[in-house]
Amino acid sequence: MDEPWRTSAVGLVLARPPRLLGTEPFFMEFIAGIEERLAAQGRSVLLHVVAHHTAEIDAYRRWARQRLVDAVVLVNPSVDDARPAVLRELRLPVVVAGEPAEGTPAVRRDDVGSMRAALAHLVGLGHRRIARISGPGALVHTRTRTAAMLTAAADAAVEAVVVEGDYSEEAGARLTAQLMTGSEPPTAIVYDNDLMAVAGLHAVKESGRRVPGDVSLIAWDDSSLCRLASPALTTMSLDVHTFGELVGESVLRLVDGGAAPVRWCATETVVVRGTTAPPPAPHRSA
């Protein structure tokens, strides 16, 4: 382990249920972007799907022991994340897709600016009670978005509530139904991914409410799921393929011995489709 090694592979471990990976478009497009950039240099992605971070760390140790990869892409940074320290111990170069540990090369998303844009769109339509169904609360970007939403809501003097989901269809449907049966249901809901949003759209319809006549919906990360929904979902749009390409480019710089400073994706934009409109008249702001 004292001498550097060279392979043609870059490792990516996804700690998430395989059934979810198969239904969520984001990571497939993200990996395609990385793969396209690496292929230009004769490299490829070694993908491994595991159930949790302990198994992910075991995979890193095995890869380092067997010298299977030259670098690693780390996704979904979490609070008190042990993975960066393990990768340093293993001397595996790493690029973080998201908010990095101090000094770690990364490609970041502007979650604060994007959340503010989502809230501004809904507040501009007149919504005063806005909910969000988030991803897992241990993820750094979930907490960043939550803080940004609560701050933006306070600045606009509107009510905001956040409930925690897990990116699954089941969570989107169940939590949306709970919000709709509350004493004061929101007039708008923001979802942290497309799968929860599509399931939430169906749950709103099943509750007897209209979208967007009674409830407006916004999905994070545009995809074919959002475009093919009925009505088509308003989204926070990021070019996920380009995000992957930026990560791939940073990885190549690292494995070639160069520096890979922190880079930023463009702030996501609101793509207005059929699921956002002003709230029902009694709920509209003056």
- Whether 9-109+239-265 shares its CATH topology with 111-237+270-283 is answered yes
pLDDT in tens, 57-75: 999 999 999 999 999 999 9
Per-residue confidence band for 4, with pLDDT thresholds at 50, 70 and 90: low
- For the chain, the domains span 9-109+239-265, 111-237+270-283
pLDDT in tens, 17-28: 666 666 678 888
In DSSP notation, 16-76 reads: S-HHHHHH-HHHHHHHHHHHHHHHTTT-EEEEEEESSHHHHHHHHHHHHHHT--SEEEEES
Answer yes or no: is pLDDT of 286 > 60.
no
Answer yes or no: is pLDDT of 252 > 90.
yes
Q: What's the CATH architecture for 111-237+270-283?
A: 3-Layer(aba) Sandwich (3.40)
Q: What's the pLDDT score for residue 98?
A: 93
The CATH homologous superfamily of the domain defined by 9-109+239-265: Response regulator (3.40.50.2300)
**Tokens read off for 230:** 């009925």
Three-state secondary structure call for residue 284: coil
Distance CA 254, CA 186 (A): 46
Per-residue pLDDT, averaged over 16-43, amounts to: 84
Per-residue confidence band for 281, with pLDDT thresholds at 50, 70 and 90: confident
Answer yes or no: is pLDDT of 31 > 90.
yes
The DSSP output letter for 79 is T
Answer yes or no: is pLDDT of 171 > 60.
yes
Residues 86, 89, 94: CA angle, nearest 5 degrees: 65
